[in-house]
Amino acid sequence: MKITVVGGGYVGLTTGVCFAHLGHQVLIVEKIPQKVELLKSGKSPIYEPGLEELMQKNMKEGRLFFTTDLREGLEFSDVIFICVGTPQRPDGSADLSQVEEVARETAKLMKSYKLLIEKSTVPVNTHKLIKKTVQRYLKDPSIPYDVASNPEFLREGSAIEDFLNPDRIVVGIESERAKSIFEELYKDFKCPIIYTDPATSELIKHASNSFLAMKISFINMVADLCEKVGADVKLVADGMGYDKRIGRHFLNAGIGYGGSCFPKDVKAFIKMAEDYGLNFGILREVERINQERPVKFVEKVKNILWSVKEKKIGVWGLAFKPNTDDIREAPSIKIVDLLIKEGAYLSLYDPKAMENFKMLFPEGKQVKYAKDPYIAAEGASALLILTEWDEFMKVDLKRVKELMELPILVDGRNIFEPKEVKSLGFEYYAIGR
Ligand code: UGA
């Protein structure tokens, strides 16, 4: 099939590359010219394992193209995936201006049938606004079109794997014509495909993200309780997770969820419910608990060291999760900020996210960037783990201990086994265990 993807960000690029990998012809429309130049030269603007290689392969094999021109995108195909950003407004609601722009400009240029598909996370009933906009701007009101919802569930860091092997595919449609296009598009996927109306489909995505965020805040509160009573949150999560109704995934306690999705989506879900006269109080608590996590973590560090003022502290991990260079809403930002305010001297290390972090925290008296995890630990009074990169699980902890001034390890992601690190002579603090 021929597919047009509007938006060359995380979701758009992964969607385009993966559809090309499945044998389709894909044109990605991205309005930032520099980004298109970069993409055309075979470079991915984001770090995502395997993405750049797969992109280059499909470009070489003539299935993946890029342009800045929406008109070209509409001439290329009848199937248009809308993958533009839906950033957060100050009141927490989603800013849908980019979605509106795509709908409007598409309508103006449309000469024949198009299927417009929302892939970005949007508030329920956004499809109605897209339809209204298309209808308003269509040059010829008799041109047929469909608007569908087909949310993406991929995670950063495992985007390709998630796209190609989803747990389910959700499709919200209103016509048989649209349905048959999706049937063709997803015919090789083995997972359940759920066909519903667009509003239900939009809600499935938003509610799923909110629910996963709720699991994380829930286990984080359990972790705090574990610390008070001397229990182990990892084992509590294991014990709970064996119950199929609960499941073990997303029950890892830590310093809170970050990224471009959960914080924004939870806020937008609360706001959306409010707009319909409902108080989704449970999600307000989810958000409050999450916002508290970095603050509590810094309190913990302060309690351990008594004072952090003018002490050197090593930090491993800045990305909001492993296998990405993304630091959007990463708990590390708040933690680093609070520690700087407390007068600490920080030596930061992350395998991929340091360049992005430098834009927020340039190198200076209190902030240094280390070339490797060992340099970050050198002379430190404590070492903090903020992202669970594989690399950190493989370091030579004996060497780390020798390099540090005090062998204090504060593990915000529970990557080590307390007994093992303690037996190496570390003073070890984890989350909820
Ligand atoms: C999330 C969802 O998992 C995807 O299904 C969805 O498609 C995506 O948002 C989106 O809406 O685009 P993502 O934000 O990439 O994906 O990453 P996650 O793996 O969900 O992690 C989010 C945050 O939760 C990270 O900061 C992570 O460290 C944290 N987390 C996750 C925990 O603290 N504990 C856990 O048990 C799991």
Domain match, 189 and 53 both: yes
Domain match, 36 and 181 both: yes
pLDDT in tens, 304-357: 999 999 999 999 999 999 999 999 999 999 999 999 999 999 999 999 999 999
pLDDT in tens, 65-85: 999 999 999 999 999 999 999
- Provide the H-helix boundaries in 244-349: 262-275, 281-305, 331-341
Burial classification of residue 120, based on how many CB atoms lie within 10 Å of its CB (0-12 exposed, 13-18 middle, 19 or more buried):
buried
According to the model, what pLDDT value does residue 189 have? 95
Q: Which residues pair with 348 in a beta bridge?
A: 315, 369
Query: Is 420's pLDDT higher than 90?
Result: yes
Distance, in Å, from the CA atom of 408 to the CA atom of 151, rounded to the nearest integer, reads 44
Let me know if residue 233 belongs to a domain: no
Question: Domain limits at 328?
Answer: 286-429
Ligand 1: residues within 6 Å at CB? 121, 152-156, 209, 212, 216, 250-252, 254, 257-259, 261-262, 320-321
Where does the pLDDT of residue 44 fall: very low under 50, low under 70, confident under 90, or very high at 90 and above? very high
Point out the ligand 1 atom lying closest to the alpha carbon of residue 156.
15
Let me know if residue 316 belongs to a domain: yes
Distance, in Å, from the CA atom of 425 to the CA atom of 433, rounded to the nearest integer, reads 18
Residue finishing a domain among 167, 196, 225: 196
According to the model, what pLDDT value does residue 92 have? 87
Q: Is there a contact between 408 and 382 (Cβ–Cβ < 8 Å)?
A: yes
261 catalytically annotated: yes
Residue in 385, 320, 334, 327 with CA at minimum distance from that of residue 356? 327
Mean pLDDT of 157-175: 97
According to the model, what pLDDT value does residue 16 have? 98
Let me know if residue 272 belongs to a domain: no
According to the model, what pLDDT value does residue 253 have? 98
Domain match, 192 and 294 both: no
Q: What spacing in Å lies between the alpha carbon of 264 and ligand 1's midpoint?
A: 12
Let me know if residue 224 belongs to a domain: no
Let me know if residue 212 belongs to a domain: no
Q: Is there a contact between 29 and 68 (Cβ–Cβ < 8 Å)?
A: yes
Domain match, 189 and 291 both: no
pLDDT in tens, 224-276: 999 999 999 999 999 999 999 999 999 999 999 999 999 999 999 999 999 99
Choose the residue to mutate in 163, 224, 248, 257 for probing ligand 1, maximizing ligand atoms within 8 Å of C-beta.
257
Question: For residue 240, what is the DSSP state?
Answer: H
Let me know if residue 320 belongs to a domain: yes
pLDDT in tens, 13-42: 999 999 999 999 999 999 999 999 999 999
CATH number at residue 137: 3.40.50.720
Q: Is there a contact between 368 and 346 (Cβ–Cβ < 8 Å)?
A: yes
Domain match, 314 and 172 both: no
Domain match, 192 and 293 both: no
Residue finishing a domain among 196, 217, 237: 196
Is residue 254 helix, strand or coil? coil
Question: For residue 276, what is the DSSP state?
Answer: T
Q: Say which residues have a Cβ less than 8 Å from residue 236's Cβ, sequence separation at least 6.
A: 222, 226, 432
Domain match, 293 and 192 both: no
Domain match, 185 and 325 both: no
Q: Is there a contact between 183 and 1 (Cβ–Cβ < 8 Å)?
A: no
Let me know if residue 405 belongs to a domain: yes
Where does the pLDDT of residue 4 fall: very low under 50, low under 70, confident under 90, or very high at 90 and above? very high
Mean pLDDT of 167-183: 98
Number of domains in the chain: 2
Q: Say which residues have a Cβ less than 8 Å from residue 221's Cβ, sequence separation at least 6.
A: 289
At how many degrees (to 10) do helices 262-275 and 281-305 cross? 150
Let me know if residue 219 belongs to a domain: no
Where does the pLDDT of residue 158 fall: very low under 50, low under 70, confident under 90, or very high at 90 and above? very high
Average pLDDT, the chain: 97
Query: Is 389's pLDDT higher than 90?
Result: yes
Q: Is there a contact between 280 and 355 (Cβ–Cβ < 8 Å)?
A: no
The one catalytic residue among 18, 83, 226, 261: 261
Residue finishing a domain among 170, 196, 222: 196
Domain match, 314 and 424 both: yes
